[in-house]
Amino acid sequence: MTETTGLALGLRALTKRYGPVTALEPTDLDIGAGEFLTLLGPSGSGKTTLLNLIAGYTEPSGGTIRIGARDVTRTPARHRNIGMVFQSYALFPHMTVAQNLAYGLEARRVPKAEIARRVEAALALMQLEGYGNRGVQQMSGGQQQRVAVARALVIEPDVLLMDEPLGALDRQLRRQVQVELRRLHLKHGRTTIYVTHDQEEALVLSDRIAVMGKGRIQQLGSAAELYARPANSFIAGFIGESNLPEARVTSVAGGMALADIPALGLSIEAPVVPGVAPGAPARLMIRPEHLRLLPDAGEGQDAGEGIGARIIEVIYLGELTQFGLETSRGAFLVARGMEGRGLRQGDTVRLGWSPRDVLIVPDTGP
């Protein structure tokens, strides 16, 4: 994470209701100065509601919002000193690039000489030198995205908010701009809150990720923490890809559980996360890259020798190969790695994994 010098944003019991519908459950969240935090979740998870509350575009039903030392809960959006980048960019089509950047500064009655200096600095920061007199409609989608970010930064906001800003770009350009945004953040260190439903985007950009679902933060942590120890099956499936067969937990002690995995015909001991309890719904998480394809040794293998499976799908992904596999009990699993290049659809294999690479998680979440 970027080095912080204090708290940039603090939320306490922040909530939003629309009649009988609660769009955001009471939420506490602290964001450090210079941090890049992503709100990640599917449609309807509450992430955009939370962003709009922070921006001041939506009035909360309860709770407080502090930016630095200021309580801005009832402060109008225009007085919060927040920069906003929208999915549609929301640029003024009849203005030049420089005029778009200058607009917010003129509204704040910044002196003309200072406006000119800040506009040139923002253009340089976004690698748009020489584009000031160009009409925004003459620019590509990637260039317009840079203008939108420059316009948000030129006012020198306390917090920068981004709402799905790469949604209009094609996949290749989106990946390129993701890297540029991360480099930009490391350079200017502006506190940033970023909304997306794209987990790859969140993994590339973020210091921390808040995974949202059902109007609440389901888990908050670094990308590595969320990937390695998801709090529940929803997060295990949403951050990356996972095989998640049902686990029937019989006992839990010392961070380990004994469980039956009916779909695989196994009884195993595996690490657990908080919330796993005997009799409660649970899943065994096995990431595709942790499944090993072993030589087939015929029928009747026990759990220590792996489980038998038939390859029903082979997908080549450049360096890696992905295999869709069906076990003898009809369970579908996905394995991904550099091994097994000579295997084909219809071949039989055994599947194995290291005990340290599996996890039992609660079967909860959206």
Q: Which residue has the higher pLDDT, 364 or 59?
A: 59
- Split at pLDDT 50, 70, 90, the class of 15 is very high
Residue 1 lies in a domain: no
Residues 259 and 343 in one domain: yes
Residue found by looking up tokens 């969240």 in the block: 29
Element (H, E) at 172: helix 171-188
pLDDT digits (tens, 9 = 90+) for 144-158: 888 988 898 899 899
Residues 23 and 160 in one domain: yes
Return the pLDDT at 48.
93
Residue 320 lies in a domain: yes
Residue 326 lies in a domain: yes
Return the pLDDT at 110.
92
Return the pLDDT at 181.
86
Give strand pairing partners of 10. Answer: 30, 66
Residues 254 and 355 in one domain: yes
Return the pLDDT at 180.
83
Residue 74 lies in a domain: yes
215: left (phi over 0), alpha (psi -120 to 50) or beta: left
Residue 2 lies in a domain: no
Query: Does 125 have pLDDT greater than 90?
Result: no
pLDDT digits (tens, 9 = 90+) for 60-115: 999 999 999 999 999 999 899 999 988 777 888 899 999 999 998 998 899 999 99
Whether 218 contacts 229, CB under 8 Å: no
- Split at pLDDT 50, 70, 90, the class of 298 is low
Question: Which of 206, 233, 260 corresponds to the end of one domain?
Answer: 233
In the chain, the amino acid numbered 90 is A
Question: Which of 193, 211, 233 corresponds to the end of one domain?
Answer: 233
Residues 154 and 253 in one domain: no
Return the pLDDT at 305.
57
Provide the 3-class DSSP secondary structure of residue 287: coil
pLDDT digits (tens, 9 = 90+) for 306-320: 788 999 999 988 888
Element (H, E) at 104: helix 97-107
Residues 42 and 104 in one domain: yes
> What is the CATH number for 283?
2.40.50.140
Residues 195 and 254 in one domain: no
Residues 212 and 270 in one domain: no
- Split at pLDDT 50, 70, 90, the class of 340 is low
Return the pLDDT at 138.
86
* 100 phi and psi angles, rounded to 5 deg: -60, -45
Return the pLDDT at 5.
52
Residue 329 lies in a domain: yes
Return the pLDDT at 66.
96
- Mean residue pLDDT of the chain comes to 89
Whether 270 contacts 256, CB under 8 Å: yes
Domain ranges, residue 297: 234-362
Q: What percent of the chain has pLDDT over 90?
A: 62
111 contact partners, CB below 8 Å, separation of at least 6: none
> What is the CATH number for 229?
3.40.50.300
- Split at pLDDT 50, 70, 90, the class of 341 is low
Question: Which of 208, 233, 258 corresponds to the end of one domain?
Answer: 233
Residue 172 lies in a domain: yes
Residues 53 and 68 in one domain: yes
Q: Residue 109: count other Cβ atoms within 10 Å of its Cβ.
A: 7
- Split at pLDDT 50, 70, 90, the class of 301 is very low
Return the pLDDT at 342.
79
Residues 214 and 278 in one domain: no
Q: How many domains does the chain have?
A: 2
Query: Does 300 have pLDDT greater than 50?
Result: no
Q: What percent of the chain has pLDDT over 70?
A: 94
Residues 202 and 242 in one domain: no
- Split at pLDDT 50, 70, 90, the class of 2 is very low
pLDDT digits (tens, 9 = 90+) for 156-211: 899 999 998 887 777 887 888 888 888 888 888 889 999 999 888 999 899 999 99
Residues 224 and 267 in one domain: no
Rounded to a whole number of angstroms, the distance between the first and last alpha carbons of the chain is 28
Residues 156 and 76 in one domain: yes
Return the pLDDT at 6.
80
Return the pLDDT at 3.
41
DSSP 212-254: EETTEEEEEE-HHHHHHS-SSHHHHHHSS--B--EEEEEEEET
Residue 176 lies in a domain: yes
